[in-house]
Amino acid sequence: MDMMLLSRTQRQGVVLKQLKGHSGSVRCVRFVAGSQTIVSGSNDKRIAIWEWEKSNSPIMFLEGHDDRVRSVAVSSAGDRLFSGSQDRTLRFWDLTARLQTEEFEQSRAIWAVAVSADYVKVAIGLENGALKVLDSWTGETLFEDNQAHTKAVYSVEFSPDGKHLVTGSCDRTIRLWNIDKWASIGSPAEKHTCEVTSLAFSRNGQQLLSGGGEGVVRLWDVVPAQSDCNPSDGPVLIQRLVFSTDRVMGLSFTCGETRFISGSLGGIVRVGTHRSMYSYVRLSIDRCTATYV
């Protein structure tokens, strides 16, 4: 299947390149920091590495997974890759040598993977609703909650400031976690009416975007600014934006954090602010996962 790179003017989308190489749907995409490299995972069981300025085709594939690759995460240094698959394995990769270094089998399929900003911790969300955090070098389990959610954990993200972890699930809830105490904060947030498919922290870690299967993006305060709100109560909803009937497959804040970008199952990339959404371009593909760089 295809991937597209977009540039933007004020209200228009410009397709920079259409990348072809995967033989199955692309489930996840990540930019490698400080480079023109892109990493993608697919239903074809492979991870592709792209140098998008040089070629429309992958420079190589990383192979080893026995089922579709559902999620990938890249260290902030750009030298390590972590992948989770329906084959129930979490794999560590050396992106410099482009080789697999470790493999850890889990009890259920891995639906979501995230790495902390200091790339010391890797979090995974499992098909049975469990959350697990591992040491990114040894694979040692640092934290585990087998009842984090009642259904599959669809998305997981670390906050950039290293204080929080957030999970979104097919049970329609969002849970915020205190990393220092390895404990959930408050009750699960239950505003979404379908599965929570995507999450993104602002760069200061104080706000959170969530996207759902119902085509709604929600903006949350992670640390409530209102004096009558207790931070231990969990995230507080700021804004609800209905802009699509398509499942939201990817979210990210822009660098200035005044806008955010989203990708939907219907192949539409949109940019929004706290007050409005507008489409950039409709892509001729069956799903769109948004990653901003």
**Residue 240 belongs to a domain with what CATH number?**
2.130.10.10
| Residue at 28 is within a domain | no
Alpha-carbon distance of 45 to 28, in angstroms, equals 12
**What's the rounded mean pLDDT across residues 57-64?**
92
C-alpha radius of gyration, the chain, whole number: 18
| pLDDT for the residue numbered 211 | 84
Half-sphere exposure of 166 (CA within 13 A, CB side): 27
pLDDT at 282 over 50: no
Determine which of 99-108, 186-195, 235-244 has the lowest per-residue pLDDT on average: 235-244
Alpha-carbon distance of 230 to 176, in angstroms, equals 14
Q: Which residue has the higher pLDDT, 254 or 148?
A: 148
Q: Is the pTM of this model over 0.85?
A: no
| Residue at 25 is within a domain | no
Alpha-carbon distance of 158 to 86, in angstroms, equals 22
**What's the rounded mean pLDDT across residues 67-96?**
95
Q: How many domains does the chain have?
A: 1
| pLDDT for the residue numbered 241 | 61
pLDDT at 276 over 60: no
| pLDDT for the residue numbered 128 | 97
Sign of the dihedral through C-alpha 143, 149, 151, 156? negative
In this structure, the number of other CB atoms found within 10 A of the CB of residue 263 comes to: 28
Centroid of chain to Cα 257: 17
In this structure, the number of other CB atoms found within 10 A of the CB of residue 273 comes to: 14
| Residue at 155 is within a domain | yes
| pLDDT for the residue numbered 16 | 60
Alpha-carbon distance of 77 to 283, in angstroms, equals 31
| pLDDT for the residue numbered 35 | 80
Q: Which residue has the higher pLDDT, 236 or 286?
A: 236
| Residue at 215 is within a domain | yes
Centroid of chain to Cα 156: 7
Place of tokens 């929004």: 272
| Residue at 4 is within a domain | no
Alpha-carbon distance of 14 to 1, in angstroms, equals 20
**Is residue 290 helix, strand or coil?**
coil
| Residue at 74 is within a domain | yes
| Residue at 3 is within a domain | no
**What's the rounded mean pLDDT across residues 153-177?**
93
Alpha-carbon distance of 123 to 267, in angstroms, equals 28
The DSSP secondary-structure symbol of 247 reads P
| pLDDT for the residue numbered 266 | 60
Q: Which domain holds residue 107?
A: 66-282
**What's the rounded mean pLDDT across residues 269-275?**
60
Determine which of 69-78, 104-113, 162-171, 236-245 has the lowest per-residue pLDDT on average: 236-245
pLDDT at 202 over 50: yes
What tokens does 276 get?
Answer: 């409005």
What tokens does 10 get?
Answer: 């004020």
**What's the rounded mean pLDDT across residues 76-91?**
95
Asked if 16 and 7 touch (Cβ cutoff 8 Å), the reply is yes
CA dihedral 285, 151, 196, 206 (to 10 degrees): -130
| Residue at 12 is within a domain | no
Place of tokens 């911790």: 121
Alpha-carbon distance of 154 to 125, in angstroms, equals 7
Sign of the dihedral through C-alpha 76, 80, 86, 89? negative
Q: Could you report the per-residue pLDDT of 175-184, keeping only the tens digit for each?
A: 999 999 999 9
What tokens does 100 get?
Answer: 């697999």
